[in-house]
C-alpha cells in the first residue's frame, strides 16, 4: 500500500489526476455492471416463482373444489400467499 502511495506521489500531477479519473470510471462501470446483473438475477427469480405458483394454482383448481368456488380476488390472494409473492398484485387487476 505504501509503495503504491509513493509511486502516486512520484507521478506528474496531471498523471495522478488521469489515474484517479480512470480508477473512478472503472469503479463506476463495475458498480453499474454488478447492480445490473443483480437486478437481472432477481427478475429471473421472480419469473420462476410466478411460473411455479401458476403450476400450483392449476393443480389446486383441479383438485380442490372449495378453492375453485372462491371469487377470483380470493383465489389470487391465496395464490400469492402460497407463492411468497406480494398480495398487492391482486388489487391491480
Q: Label residues 2-25 b or e (16+ Cβ within 10 Å = b).
A: eeeeeeeeeeeeeeeeeeeeeeee
Q: What is the pLDDT of residue 8?
A: 64
pTM given for the model: 0.45
pLDDT at residue 93 above 60?
no
For residues 76 and 90, the answer to whether their CB atoms sit within 8 Å is yes
Mean pLDDT of 42-62: 82
- What span, in angstroms and rounded, lies between the C-alpha atoms of 1 and 20? 16
Mean pLDDT of 54-73: 81
pLDDT-derived band at 81 (thresholds 50, 70, 90) equals confident
Question: What pLDDT digit, counting tens, does each position of 16-39 carry?
Answer: 778 888 888 998 888 888 888 888
Query: Do 50 and 76 form a contact (C-beta atoms < 8 A)?
Result: no
pLDDT for res 18:
81
Q: Which three cell numbers stand for residue 86?
A: 406480494
Taking all residues of the chain, what is their mean pLDDT, rounded to a whole number?
79
Amino acid at each position: 500500500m505504501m509503495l503504491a502511495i509513493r509511486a502516486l506521489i512520484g507521478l506528474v500531477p496531471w498523471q495522478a489526476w488521469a489515474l484517479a479519473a480512470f480508477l473512478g470510471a472503472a469503479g463506476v462501470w463495475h458498480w453499474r455492471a454488478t447492480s445490473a446483473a443483480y437486478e437481472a438475477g432477481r427478475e429471473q427469480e421472480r419469473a420462476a416463482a410466478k411460473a411455479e405458483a401458476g403450476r400450483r394454482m392449476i393443480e389446486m383448481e383441479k383438485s380442490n373444489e372449495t378453492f375453485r368456488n372462491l371469487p377470483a380476488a380470493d383465489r389470487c390472494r391465496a395464490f400469492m400467499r402460497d407463492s411468497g409473492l406480494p398480495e398487492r398484485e391482486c388489487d391491480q387487476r
